[in-house]
Structure 1
Amino acid sequence: MGWHGHLHLHYTRTGARTSALDRHHGPLRVLQRLYPEGEAICHHVLVHPPGGVVGGDVLSLQAELDAGSHAVITTPGATRFYRSDGLLAEQTVQASLAAGARLEWLPMETIAYRGCQVHNSLHFDLAPGAQMLGWDVLALGLPAAGAAFDAGRYRQHITLPGVWQERGLFDGSDGLLLHSPLGLAGHTVSASLWLAEGIGPGQTLDRARTEALVDAARALIDGSDLATTAGVSAPHPSLLVLRALGHRVEPVMALLQAVRGAWRQLHWGLAAHPPRVWRT
């Protein structure tokens, strides 16, 4: 049957403070609320005590952010999807942001082990005026340990309704995708970072602000180890997306953290303030 874990988070704004209530069932929960930036921003560390996900496991996270609330959600380490005997492992994240709410969805990398069978779904509903920063980092196999991702399937959905809908399938037997210059070109780490804002009818993001955010990201890309395998674009008036490919997680994560910090400063007037758990 596998492990079934469900976590519901509800963030509210009372005065100057973002408060959070959580309900959990099974092996999925958050550590205590942290306020390293002051009461307005609630930091949460999402933990999965078993340490890995196998076929038959189902993990579900639901987050509600009321108007004016601001939450930062991360993890203490990688999420690991292990080899399956045929059963599907599922992870679903659904977040709903009211007007004026902000969410930073910043988990550490996901590792897809050889032979895994995975469906990972991320769904974010942003009301007009809501904002989010998010990223997703996928590492295929453990090539340094001689365990290439040459078998298994990892299916991914990322959805911001009306703005961005992405469907991806990484199949260990798909040599064209994994090794072709038009695919991953032998890279085993694939990442996306996005900045999104809920836009109502007739609204658009300020063009000058968008160009400044894109220019800041491009400068950081040019100065990184991923200058030839990363890029940023604005595919929608309310969305910026950075893509990166790498052979190791560390340079990819370093670039994402740097761009997240720059965008936070430029768009929200907030210091980077990386969660402390990233340094442990």
Structure 2
Amino acid sequence: MEGILVNTAGGIACGDDFSVSARLDPGADLVLTTVAAEKVYRSDGPVSRVHNRLELGAGARLAWLPQETILFDRARLRRSFEADLAADAALIVAEITAFGRAARGETLEDALFEDVWRVRRAHRLVYADTVRLEGPVSALLARAAIGGGARAMGTILDCSPGAEGRIEEARACLEAAGPGGTEAAASAWNGHLVLRLLGPEVGSLRERVARFLSAYRGVPMPRVWQT
């Protein structure tokens, strides 16, 4: 089953506070995505917040596959992702972030982006990741030790049972998905699998993420990704 999240406001403006909560009953199988890319507009000071909260019952399976988030210059966003999984639940998450509007050649001269992920299995923390960029974000990403000039970033997390053992398969799928000008790597530990991708623009990175996920999951991407 596919579910599509819709932001009827058309984007996230200064000070907005959005929350999404989803609970999957035991044995449920769901793909959640968004109808379009999410735009985060410039702010005159207030920080916008997005809270995503998921709960998966025994044997439930969820693929969280929203389309990309696009940060405008002077955007200020704090986003959190929390998932509580039953011992045998399966979760795959993919998030893509574009730093500026590529078509306009926009750079982020002054912005805030904070992205906090926490995943618990059987009430025990098994994955924690925090990305925080503040100030001249594009200049920070231009540094070799931070982003190497990247203007887009993708993160894919597989917290399904057996995910750690699929590391070589994931690397093969990633290689087959083609570079498209992007840099990517995969790691596995503590029972989960993580991929990070960086690219010079969001279009090619999005395509590589989609090709990887289609191969790795063995099913096509949600229909809205193909429009």
* TM-score, normalised with respect to structure 2: 0.91
Distance 1:85 1:244 in 2: 30
CA contact (8 A) 1:216 1:262 kept: no
Alignment partner, residue 13 of structure 2: 54
Query: Which residue of the partner structure matches residue 93 of structure 1?
Result: 52
1:234 corresponds to 2:197: no
- Rounded Cα–Cα distance in structure 2 between residues aligned with 1:172 and 1:112: 13
- Structure 1 equivalent of residue 61 of structure 2: 102
What's the C-alpha RMSD, in Å, of the aligned pairs?
Answer: 1.8
Asked if 1:194 is matched to 2:149, the reply is no
Q: Deviations over 1:72-117 (max 9, x none)?
A: 1111211011000101111100000011001110000001110011
**Distance in 1 between residues matched to 2:72 and 2:20, nearest whole Å:** 22
Is 1:245 matched with 2:204? no
Which residue identity is paired with 1:243? R
Instruction: Name the aligned partner's letter for residue 148 of structure 1.
Output: T
After superposition, where does 1:204-243 map in structure 2 within 5 Å?
Answer: 205=162, 210-211=164-165, 213-223=166-176, 224-226=178-180, 229-237=183-191, 239-243=192-196
Structure 1's unaligned 5+ residue stretches are: 1-41, 199-204, 266-271
Matched, 1:138 2:97: yes
Deviation at 1:45, TM superposition (A): 0.8
Instruction: String of CA shifts for 1:169-215, please: whole Å, max 9, x gaps.
Output: 122425763111110111110110111036xxxxxx3xxx744x322
Q: Does 1:171 align with 2:124?
A: no
Counterpart among 87, 91, 99 of residue 128 in structure 1: 87
SS at match of 1:49: coil
Mapped contact 1:97–1:126 kept (Cα < 8 A): yes
2:225 corresponds in structure 1 to 278
Q: Secondary structure at the match of 2:216?
A: helix
Kindly indicate whether the alpha-carbon contact (under 8 Å) linking 1:103 and 1:133 is maintained by their aligned counterparts in 2: yes
> 2:138, 2:211 → 1: CA distance?
32
Q: 1:227 to 1:241 in 2, by over 3 A?
A: farther
| Percent identity over paired residues | 30
Q: Mark the structure with the bigger radius of gyration.
A: 1
Partners of 2:186 and 2:180 in 1: how far apart?
12
1:138-157 correspondence runs (5 A): 138-157=97-116
Q: Which runs of 5+ in 2 are unaligned?
A: none
| In 2: Cα distance, 1:261 partner to 1:109 partner | 17
2:157–2:193 CA contact under 8 A, matched in 1: yes
Letter in 1 for 2:220: H
Q: Which one of 230, 248, 259 corresponds to residue 212 of structure 2?
A: 259
SS at match of 2:215: helix
Displacement, 1:137? 0.6
Q: What amino acid is the match of 2:46?
A: L
Q: Does 1:116 align with 2:75?
A: yes
